[in-house]
Structure 1
Amino acid sequence: MLNSPSQIESFDTADLAVRLRAIVARIPTGLVFTSSFGIEDQLLTHHILRQDLPIAIVSLDTGRLFPASYALWQKTEEHYGVRIRSVQPDGEAVAGFVARWGINGFRGSRDARLACCHARKVEPLARALAGASGWITGLRADQSGDRGAVALVGHDEARGLPKFSPLFDWSRAQVEAGCAQLDVPVNPLHAQGFVSIGCEPCTRAILPGESERAGRWWWEQDEARECGLHVGADGRLVRA
């Protein structure tokens, strides 16, 4: 099993379907794609399912997603004739967070927000990737300044997995055009300025000139705002 970037060749083509097939050729079993039903994830889902690739699609249901996100989840399953596996937070962990910080306590401090993200996203991700041989994400390098080092092939040290971002060098405009061309279902909130969509209480529409990630945890001053899914021990985005 491949488990380090040095063992995995880069793929020169920007063709998404070809990239996905190349990833499968190198890691034929055990690949997991985690989708939040954002526009990038929807395009990846389309190519994975239309090519019938052996890649498991999993979504983290935090329990606090937008109603529109749940509606898109259902629409996606109906559109492609599949069931997308749901991984949910541990009930005791969420109850412990609420008991300590309050139902919306994540706005009280960065530590509280990270504790909420850990209970609702990071720990469930560990279960979603348990036994996986590779992790596929919808990250793009131009989503924010801190994500500028995202590459096609990386390595997740915490989970000991090769990590692939097939859309790393795509622009948002390219992703939007790809979805429109292929009739891919997308979240209607995107058209209302919600560019990056997470949990409802932690997401707002962005303002003109703001980066794509500016609407996430907007009350925090730190520009490198991440939930913990893609960061290392230092709290920064894991580099390739």
Structure 2
Amino acid sequence: MSQNPILQLQNLSAAYGQSQVLWDIDLNLLPNHAMGLIGRNGVGKSTLLQTIMGTHKVHGGTVIFDGEDVTSLPAHLRARAGIAIVPQGRHIFPHLTVLENLETGLSARGDRGNGKLPEYIFDLFPKLKDVRSRNGGFLSGGEQQQLAIGRALAGSPKLLLLDEPTEGIQPNVVQQIEAAIHTIKTELKVSVLMVEQRIEVVWNIADQFTAMQEGKIILQDDIANMSAEDASNIVRI
């Protein structure tokens, strides 16, 4: 029996003022799957994540999450429903400790939580436990990225949106983040939609990819059906 998508986008469009940046986006993401959004900078990938999250207004079309139409819901109610985002640049609170940063993610759970941080955050990112009393602003870029992902997971989401999770991060930490995303998908049963410039990262952890160009989808397929090199040539990254 086929699964119902955790996320369905139907003819989705978005604009900045009079300038349309997303055009008739159709996308289905299955539960416990990861999809990579690939394409050059400026083609609308980040705007697509923001539109799904509700931090950017839908210009047209529909966002269906977990079987419910959330198109008109504000971002905080989408978060309560189970969508979380780790934006590009991480946006952690530099003057709060690691533990305090993580605790800010609990508000997304609403009545679904017990007020305690899930222990799996520290299982995924042991370094965060070691530095839990340190202010976020004193962390390395890789540690801040782990913190941002951990904060999003504190809300116990069903869908995790990641915007450039490996940007500016050293290779050994990239491998840690890849392993964490794989665990998030397979063991925590959280679906993942990620924007990622490193094609090899997408091919290491995703099940499907979606290539974008000029605000439109030009290709969608399973990772197994195409090499990372061929996909890179298509989007010309």
**TM-score calculated relative to the size of structure 1:** 0.27
Higher-strand-fraction structure = 2
Q: Work out which structure has the larger RCO, using CA pairs closer than 8 Å and 6 or more positions apart in sequence.
A: 2
Higher-helix-fraction structure = 1
